[in-house]
């Protein structure tokens, strides 16, 4: 669950930036409240209804938006409303008059329409559709013939790519172009007819492929996103092979008709989408198509690598497990297949193969910072194999990276004498830098090293919030002093609302640790810094307590 104080750390930075743009451009209106739910209208390609529900602790219970965005948990419109709430600017968007009751509006519209003749209604709708492209698109996609819908989709794609070509890759232009294309995706995903959905998606890809190389980046984006929708439809109809085969043939038609316009990356993704359909009727023909590409000496390494992956996935569905595994083991030079081979070996408890694969993966990792996850894979394989002595050095190095799982595995391999020696060595090394908090806390709890943990916190005050619960009963005064140092340091460096909120939250943690003695310190901070924003944040969280009598902190 997200909180209003830190939601911006948990969502896509691009979506957050788009939300900030919506807010900066005042593209929001009509604030309404219902209990703990805040609702607004976001203005963009269309008007969208946005809502956020909060609890008493400002936790975000739920959120929704009527836009077609389907690429993550939070769209740009919800992000804009969350930013608006956090910046306490809701009043800027309040309507002066109360919103008229929806049923009343509905009845009035019905009465007006019933009083108009057909000719007048047609004239009004035609005029509105001419002035409002969104209304024209809505009418076309919902009520027109399929051919006209396809033509409209093609024109929409062409216009979107033209805009990107003409005006560049600015966030605003890309956002507008994406909104236009995602609206077509939405129509395809909710179409009543699968043949129409396939034709609609085909039209997007074919139209995109017609563009020249100078729009290649955005064209690839459009094609790959369209293929993702194809895969979504395949997943949606996993239980209906006839529909999956229909999708397969729709993708095959694109390759057949547009082969001269398709580059290696797009071809590979098309074939991957065809493979995902798992169409039994076409399995032999599809495997032959893959083999022809692999046997062609002119096939590029990039395409060959992706086709090998598609062939293994195809064999996994239509061949015997042994045939698929043999193919896998013959292509361990393919990084993706190498990692698949490791996962399969671990599942089958073939730890010798898993160790081999993990070591091969590690050899391919050049920068040291990429090796950690693959070392963990090797550790798991070595432990499964029973190669404990070979695993120990890797486990020790991961304990030094504050890896709790590695710590638990490592201590189980040690004799009592080795354990004490290793623990002392770890603690001595840990004292040099503040990156071992979780393991240090485990050791302190298990081996009674609370004094050393307290010394660690005094050396690195920023960790006190994570360890005070095991220290406060014994070292209450020292814990209080460390909190004070840490809070003062954060307040000194704070320069914006987010940082002031962090200071305020830290004080609340200090209260949990050492009680109401912290109240006097709040007064001291306000007097010391006299920053109105800091005072405001302290008041929001501690307002009632600020009236209490000062105590020694």
Q: Is the pLDDT of residue 147 over 60?
A: yes
Q: DSSP letters along 320-363, please?
A: -HHHHHHHHHTTTTSHHHHHHHHHHHHHTT-HHHHHHHHHHHHH
pLDDT at 383: 96
Q: Is there a contact between 293 and 308 (Cβ–Cβ < 8 Å)?
A: no
Residue 327 neighbours by CB distance under 10 Å? 17
Of the listed ranges 99-108, 412-421, 428-437, 542-551, the least confidently predicted one is 542-551
Of the listed ranges 34-48, 132-146, 208-222, 377-391, the least confidently predicted one is 132-146
- DSSP run (H or E) holding 158: helix 146-167
First to last CA, the chain: 33
Confidence of residue 447 (pLDDT cuts 50, 70, 90): very high
Which of the listed ranges 76-90, 146-160, 437-451, 514-528 does the model predict with the highest average pLDDT?
437-451
Show Cβ contacts of residue 547 under 8 Å, excluding neighbours closer than 6 positions: none
Q: Is the pLDDT of residue 190 over 80?
A: yes
Q: What is the 3-state secondary structure (H, E, C) of 485-523?
A: HHHHHHHHHCCCHHHHHHHHHHHHHHHHHHHHHHHHHHH
Task: Encode pLDDT of 353-402 as tens digits.
Answer: 999 999 999 988 776 667 888 999 999 999 999 999 999 999 999 999 99
Of the listed ranges 329-333, 454-458, 479-483, 503-507, the least confidently predicted one is 503-507
pLDDT at 549: 39
Of the listed ranges 123-137, 195-209, 404-418, the least confidently predicted one is 123-137
pLDDT at 454: 96
pLDDT at 90: 59
Confidence of residue 543 (pLDDT cuts 50, 70, 90): low
Overall pTM surpassing 0.95 (yes/no): no
pLDDT at 89: 61
Q: Is the pLDDT of residue 525 over 80?
A: no
Rounded Cα distance, 405 and 115, in Å: 74
Closest CA to 287 of 329, 316, 266, 246: 316
| Domain ranges within the chain, ordered by starting residue | 2-96, 130-294, 472-553
Of the listed ranges 28-37, 274-283, 499-508, the least confidently predicted one is 28-37
Q: Is the pLDDT of residue 486 over 50?
A: yes
Closest CA to 533 of 487, 493, 506, 500: 500
Residue 164 neighbours by CB distance under 10 Å? 23
Higher pLDDT, 46 or 487: 487
Q: What is the 3-state secondary structure (H, E, C) of 109-137?
A: HHHHHHCCCHHHHHHHHHHHHHHCHHHHH
Rounded Cα distance, 549 and 523, in Å: 10
Mean pLDDT of 284-298: 94
């Amino acid at each position: 669950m997200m909180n209003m104080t830190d939601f911006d750390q948990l969502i896509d930075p691009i979506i957050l930036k788009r939300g900030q743009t919506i807010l900066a451009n005042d593209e929001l209106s009509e604030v309404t409240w219902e209990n703990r739910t805040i609702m607004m209208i976001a203005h963009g390609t269309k008007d969208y209804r946005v809502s956020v529900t909060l609890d008493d602790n400002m936790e975000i219970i739920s959120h929704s938006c009527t836009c077609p965005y389907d690429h993550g948990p939070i769209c740009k419109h919800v992000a804009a409303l969350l930013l608006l709430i956090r910046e306490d600017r809701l009043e800027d968007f309040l309507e002066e008059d109360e919103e008229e009751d929806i049923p009343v509006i509905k009845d009035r519209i019905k009465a007006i329409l019933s009083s108009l003749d057909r000719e007048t209604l047609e004239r009004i709708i035609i005029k509105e559709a001419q002035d409002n492209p969104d209304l024209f698109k809505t009418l076309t996609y919902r009520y027109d013939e399929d051919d006209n819908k396809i033509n409209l989709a093609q024109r929409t794609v062409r216009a979107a790519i033209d805009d990107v070509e003409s005006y560049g890759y600015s966030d605003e232009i890309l956002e507008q172009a994406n909104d236009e294309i995602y609206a077509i995706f939405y129509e395809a995903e909710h179409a009543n007819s699968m043949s129409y959905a396939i034709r609609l998606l085909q039209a997007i890809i074919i139209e995109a492929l017609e563009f020249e190389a100078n729009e290649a980046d955005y064209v690839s984006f459009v094609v790959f996103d369209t293929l993702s929708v194809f895969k979504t439809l395949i997943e949606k109809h996993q239980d209906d092979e006839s529909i999956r085969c229909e999708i397969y043939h729709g993708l095959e038609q694109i390759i057949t008709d547009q082969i001269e316009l398709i580059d290696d990356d797009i071809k590979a993704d098309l074939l991957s989408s065809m493979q995902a359909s798992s169409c039994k009727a076409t399995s032999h023909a599809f495997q032959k198509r893959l083999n022809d590409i692999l046997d062609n000496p002119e096939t590029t390494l990039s395409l060959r690598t992706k086709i090998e992956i598609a062939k293994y996935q195809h064999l996994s569905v239509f061949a015997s497990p042994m045939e698929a595994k043999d193919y896998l083991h013959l292509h361990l030079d393919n990084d993706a297949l190498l990692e698949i081979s490791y996962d399969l070996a671990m599942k089958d408890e073939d730890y010798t193969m898993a160790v081999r694969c993990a070591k091969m993966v590690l050899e391919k990792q050049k920068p040291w910072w990429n090796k950690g996850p693959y070392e963990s894979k090797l550790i798991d394989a070595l432990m499964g194999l029973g190669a404990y002595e070979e695993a120990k050095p890797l486990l020790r190095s991961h304990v030094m990276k504050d890896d709790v799982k590695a710590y638990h595995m490592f201590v189980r391999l040690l004799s009592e004498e080795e354990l004490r020696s290793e623990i002392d060595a770890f603690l001595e090394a840990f004292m040099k830098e503040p990156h071992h908090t979780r393991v240090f806390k485990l050791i302190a709890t298990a081996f009674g090293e609370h004094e050393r943990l307290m010394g660690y916190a005094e050396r690195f005050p920023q960790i006190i919030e994570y360890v005070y619960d095991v220290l406060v009963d014994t070292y209450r005064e020292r814990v209080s002093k460390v909190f004070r140092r840490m809070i003062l340091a954060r307040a000194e460096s704070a320069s914006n609302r987010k940082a002031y909120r962090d200071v305020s939250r830290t004080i609340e943690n200090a209260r949990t640790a050492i009680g109401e003695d912290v109240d006097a310190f709040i007064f001291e901070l306000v007097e010391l810094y006299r920053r109105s924003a800091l005072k405001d944040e302290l008041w929001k969280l501690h307002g009632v307590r600020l009236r209490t009598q000062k105590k020694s902190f």
